[in-house]
C-alpha cells in the first residue's frame, strides 16, 4: 500500500455503509485519507457505524439516483478519487423487483460517471466495483477478462450495463477509470442474512440448521473483504499506468468450491458438524457455476490475496461471534 498516495487525498465512497464499503473506509482512514461517504439509509448495525468510523468521515445524505446530490458531492468537496461501491447487491431482490436494481445500479452508475466527467479537472481516479455476475453464464471456466459480458437475469444485466458504461466513459471521454470484478466477497459486517456465509455462521451460532437455497452443487469463488479492499486501492494507485486505465480486472483467491463444501468448512471451523443442513433447492435467477482467473491482476497490478479461504473464514466467524454476543447482551 502506497502510504504517501493516500495521505490527505480527498476520497468519495458510495456504498460506504455496505460490508465492503465499511472496510474500505476503515483502510482509507488508517492511511490518513480525507473520506466523504454517500449514505442513503443510516444503518446503526453497519460496520461503518458500529466501529464509530462514521465519526471520522464527512457524510453526504442522498441516493445514487439523485444526480444533483452526486454533483454537489464531487464538486463542493473537490474529490480526487472515487470508489463506486454503491448498488443493490442482492440477486434475489433483483429478481423480485428489477426496477429498483436497474435504477440504483445503472442510473446510479451513469450519474456518477457523468459527474466525474464534468469535473475531470479534479477527479483523478474512478474505481467501479463490478462483479463476476457481469459475465453472466459462460461455458469456459475460469472466467478471464477476455470473455464478453453476457448478463441475462436482472442483477447480472445491471452489472454488465454498469461495466459497459464505465468502459464507454473511458474510451469516449478518457475518464480515468478501472473496473473491479470480484467473486463473492465475504467477511465481517455482511448483514444480508440471505447470503451463504453470514447466514450459515449465524444459524450455527443459534444452533439452527444452516440453509442452502440451491441444491448445494452451485460453484462460487469467494474473496475475503480485506483482500477485495486492497484490490480496489491498488487499482487506484496504478491508474496512471496505461495497462490499468480503462481496464477491467478479476480478483479471486482462485479456490472455487460448491455450496455444500463451503457450509461443511464453516461447520468444521465452528465445530458444528452435528447440525444438519437444510437444502431448499428453490433458488431463482442465479448462475450455476462461476469462478475467476486473477492472472491479469497478479501480473499487471502485482496483487495477491493475503488470506486463504480458511483464514478469512476464521476471522469472519470471530467477527460474528462478537456481533452475536453484543446483540444478545
Say if residue 256's pLDDT is above 50: yes
CB half-sphere exposure, 195, CA atoms < 13 A: 17
Whether residue 26 is contained in a domain is answered as yes
Task: Give the chain's domain count.
Answer: 1
User: In terms of pLDDT, which residue wins out, 164 or 325?
Assistant: 164
Average pLDDT over residues 98-109: 96
Whether residue 214 is contained in a domain is answered as no
Strands (DSSP E) contained in the chain are 10-14, 34-39, 58-61, 81-84, 125-129, 177-182, 184-186, 211-212, 219-220, 222-224, 248-251, 257-258, 278-279
The structure's pTM equals: 0.95
Whether residue 205 is contained in a domain is answered as no
Average pLDDT over residues 156-164: 96
Question: pLDDT confidence of 327, banded at 50, 70, 90?
Answer: low
Domain that holds residue 231: 3-185+225-252+290-305
Give Rg (Cα) of the chain.
Answer: 19
Number of other CB atoms surrounding residue 324 within 10 Å? 14
User: In terms of pLDDT, which residue wins out, 221 or 89?
Assistant: 221
Say if residue 285's pLDDT is above 80: no
Say if residue 275's pLDDT is above 70: yes
Question: pLDDT confidence of 148, banded at 50, 70, 90?
Answer: very high
Share of the chain above pLDDT 90, in %: 90
- Amino acid 18: pLDDT: 93
In the block, which residue shows the cell 431482490?
93
Mean pLDDT of the chain: 95
Whether residue 192 is contained in a domain is answered as no
Whole-number Å distance between alpha carbons of 85 and 225: 13
Whether residue 119 is contained in a domain is answered as yes
Q: What is the pLDDT of residues 217-228, one digit of tens each?
A: 999 999 999 999
Number of other CB atoms surrounding residue 156 within 10 Å? 24
**All cell numbers assigned to 289:** 457455476
Question: pLDDT confidence of 329, banded at 50, 70, 90?
Answer: very low
**Domain CATH code at residue 22:** 3.40.50.720
| CA dist 68 → 9, 76, 159 (Å) | 23, 11, 23
Parallel, antiparallel, or unpaired: how do β-strands 125-129 and 81-84 relate? parallel
**All cell numbers assigned to 326:** 453484543
**All cell numbers assigned to 176:** 480515468
In sequence order, what are the residues at sequence separation of 6 or more whose Cβ sits closer than 8 angstroms to the Cβ of residue 140? 147
Whether residue 312 is contained in a domain is answered as no
- Contact at 8 Å (CB) between 4 and 113? no
Whether residue 284 is contained in a domain is answered as no
Q: What is the pLDDT of residues 175-190, one digit of tens each?
A: 999 999 999 999 999 9
Catalytic site includes residue 186: no
CA angle 133, 136, 142 (to 5 degrees): 80
Whether residue 128 is contained in a domain is answered as yes
Residue from 49, 110, 143, 155 carrying the catalytic annotation? 155
Question: pLDDT confidence of 1, banded at 50, 70, 90?
Answer: confident
Amino acid at each position: 500500500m502506497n502510504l504517501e498516495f493516500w495521505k490527505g487525498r480527498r476520497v468519495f465512497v458510495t456504498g460506504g455503509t455496505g460490508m465492503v464499503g465499511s472496510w474500505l473506509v476503515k483502510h482509507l482512514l488508517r492511511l490518513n485519507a480525507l473520506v466523504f461517504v454517500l449514505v442513503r439509509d443510516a444503518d446503526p448495525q453497519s460496520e461503518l457505524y458500529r466501529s464509530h468510523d462514521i465519526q471520522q468521515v464527512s457524510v453526504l445524505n442522498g441516493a445514487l439516483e439523485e444526480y444533483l446530490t452526486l454533483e454537489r458531492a464531487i464538486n463542493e468537496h473537490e474529490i480526487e478519487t472515487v470508489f463506486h461501491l454503491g448498488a443493490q447487491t442482492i440477486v434475489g431482490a433483483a429478481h423480485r423487483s428489477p426496477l429498483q436494481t436497474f435504477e440504483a445500479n445503472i442510473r446510479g452508475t451513469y450519474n456518477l460517471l457523468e459527474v466525474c466527467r464534468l469535473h475531470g479537472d479534479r477527479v483523478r481516479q474512478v474505481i467501479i466495483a463490478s462483479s463476476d455476475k457481469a459475465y453472466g453464464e459462460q461455458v469456459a471456466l475460469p472466467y478471464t477478462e477476455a470473455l464478453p459480458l453476457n448478463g441475462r437475469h436482472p442483477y447480472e444485466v445491471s452489472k454488465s450495463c454498469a461495466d459497459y458504461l464505465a468502459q464507454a466513459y473511458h474510451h469516449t471521454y478518457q475518464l480515468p477509470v478501472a473496473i473491479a470484478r470480484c467473486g463473492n466477497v465475504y467477511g465481517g459486517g455482511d448483514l444480508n442474512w440471505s447470503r451463504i456465509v453470514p447466514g450459515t455462521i449465524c444459524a450455527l451460532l443459534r444452533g439452527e440448521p444452516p440453509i442452502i437455497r440451491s441444491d448445494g452443487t452451485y460453484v462460487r469463488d469467494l474473496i475475503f473483504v480485506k483482500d477485495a479492499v486492497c484490490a480496489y486501492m491498488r487499482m487506484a494507485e496504478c491508474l496512471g499506468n496505461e495497462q490499468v486505465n480503462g481496464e477491467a480486472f478479476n480478483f479471486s483467491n482462485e479456490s472455487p468450491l460448491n455450496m455444500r463444501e463451503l457450509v461443511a468448512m464453516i461447520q468444521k471451523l465452528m465445530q458444528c458438524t452435528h447440525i444438519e443442513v437444510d437444502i431448499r433447492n428453490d433458488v431463482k435467477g442465479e448462475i450455476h457455476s462461476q469462478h475467476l482467473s486473477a492472472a491479469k491482476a497478479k501480473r499487471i497490478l502485482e496483487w495477491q490475496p493475503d488470506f486463504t479461504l480458511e483464514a478469512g473464514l476464521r476471522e469472519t466467524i470471530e467477527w460474528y461471534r462478537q456481533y452475536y454476543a453484543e446483540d444478545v447482551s
